[in-house]
Amino acid sequence: MEEVMKPFIYIYHIVHYIFLAPKKILKYAYLGLLTVINKLNFKENKNDTNTNINNLSHHENSNENSKKIAFRYKVVGSNGKVINGTFDGINIDEVKNFLNNEGYKVIKVEPRKFYDVDINIGGRFNASDLSFSLTQLSTYLKAGIPLIDSVRILEKQSENDEQRKVYQNIVYELLKGESLSKALRKQNDKFPNLLINMIKTAELTGDLTSVLDDMASYYTSKEETRKQTISAMTYPLIVLSIALLVIVFILTTIVPKFVDMYKNNDADIPFITTFVMNASNFLVNNYLYIILIILLIIAIFIYLYKKIYIFRKNVQILGMHLPVFGKIIIYNEVYNFTKTFAALLNHGVFITDSMEVLSKVTNNEVYKELIAKTISNLNKGENISEAFKGNFAFPVAAYEMIVTGEKTGQLGLMMEKVANYYQVLHKTLVKQMQSFIEPVMIAFLALIVGVILLSIVVPMFGIYSNIQ
């Protein structure tokens, strides 16, 4: 596998160095310019300039010395399994000591070659991973196991190479004296901001296990909602895909044979048959262009959705106005918003800080604007509910619950009740959608297949009449 990947790895590094070249050229050009100016025009400041250049070089060297170096290691785990991985450390001895302390038998540690890049990508923890990991971590802590040892256990039982590396880095940071929240934040967005902020709050209050349990429950609930939505959509999509493939097969393979037969027998071709024949000819002659155009449209849509704010926002607004689907999107967003808001408030996070976290949790631009408006209202001394009043993306029932929470001083409790209410509504609507889609899809496919069959059968009556 490594031999196969080497050409691609070389190409990756060549492109990487090409992009770094302008920066290096500018740096050396800057140092050279300082030297030329020093010699030609500012001879009286020669000593000062040389001192500045030396300080700059010394500063760069000290930065490089303090930077971590990437190492590749080969070790034997406690179960006798050989493990290959990478780790960033100051030097080889530090990495060896760290791996020995982690219970591994070190076979080899060496600096990574310039062409050595991680083929395994990802490592980001999804809701399912977080639910399991947080439950485990809370259980270990309640059993009296120290935090570092608890994370070590998670590292040992992890079968994902990238996630095991993340756990190793967390242990490394904890051994340096960093807090758990800071250790998580240093893992390059592997963990969601919500979790990091909640753990930071727990560290201040000294109630880490309770927060871990609540967040495990939160991510479990999110994962159940996600799986239910995927499950409801999977069956109709599979059936629809297979049906479309069968229809394309009929149009491109079977229909042309009947067309040739009709032509040979001088049969009268009705309009419906002509239409299907033209569709069949178009597919047969242009199927490559059709596939390319579809792929191009999908690629352009994805690019615009990711890069263009106004396009993404309008697509999201359109989606929220669709029949049935729109309510599913809105209920899911309201559930995520209120569930997260409740978790933050119930653990003592300030409302303004909660809004900052919420703005990073959602990917929906409409709700981001609502949250930004809420922050602006809070700065003016207005109520939270004012931002949500009359907005199509926030149901009236949820708005009234916010108002009630503000009046009673139990906003966190109200948000939790809203979250539970809309989670039930979301699940119910997903089931209704599944029940609605299946008969509609069957009727649609039956109509298409019926048209194709009619286009084939009707001319046969003409041929039969001519024979008689």
Strand partners, 72: 86, 110
* Cα(406)–Cα(377) distance, integer angstroms: 14
> Across the chain, what does the average pLDDT equal?
77
- Inform me whether the pLDDT recorded for 16 exceeds 50: no
For 439, phi then psi, to 5°, come to -65, -35
pLDDT digits (tens, 9 = 90+) for 365-407: 999 999 999 988 888 888 888 888 888 989 998 999 999 988 8
* Stretch 285-296: mean pLDDT: 89
340's tokens = 């997260």
82's tokens = 């050989």
**Pairing assessment for the beta strands 69-76 and 82-89 based on DSSP bridges:** antiparallel
* Stretch 65-77: mean pLDDT: 72
With contact defined as beta carbons under 8 Å apart, do 141 and 208 qualify?
yes
* Cα(209)–Cα(202) distance, integer angstroms: 8
pLDDT digits (tens, 9 = 90+) for 216-233: 888 888 888 788 777 777
Which residue reads 């001519």 in tokens? 466
State the pLDDT at residue 43: 40
* Cα(38)–Cα(31) distance, integer angstroms: 11
* Cα(66)–Cα(116) distance, integer angstroms: 22
pLDDT category, 10, cuts 50, 70, 90? very low
The residue with greater pLDDT, 165 or 53, is: 165
- Inform me whether the pLDDT recorded for 317 exceeds 90: yes
- Inform me whether the pLDDT recorded for 57 exceeds 90: no
* Stretch 126-153: mean pLDDT: 89
Nearest residue to 414 (alpha-carbon basis) of 403, 425, 424: 403
State the pLDDT at residue 303: 92
What is the strand order of the sheet 105-111 is part of? 82-89, 69-76, 105-111
- Inform me whether the pLDDT recorded for 7 exceeds 90: no
- Inform me whether the pLDDT recorded for 5 exceeds 80: no
* DSSP labels, 4-42: HHHHHHHHHHHHHHHHHHHHHHHHHHHHHHHHHHHHHT-
* Cα(165)–Cα(172) distance, integer angstroms: 10
Give me the amino acid identity at 161. Answer: D
State the pLDDT at residue 2: 43
User: Which among 44-53, 72-81, 310-319 has the top mean pLDDT?
Assistant: 310-319
pLDDT digits (tens, 9 = 90+) for 426-452: 888 888 877 777 788 788 878 887 888
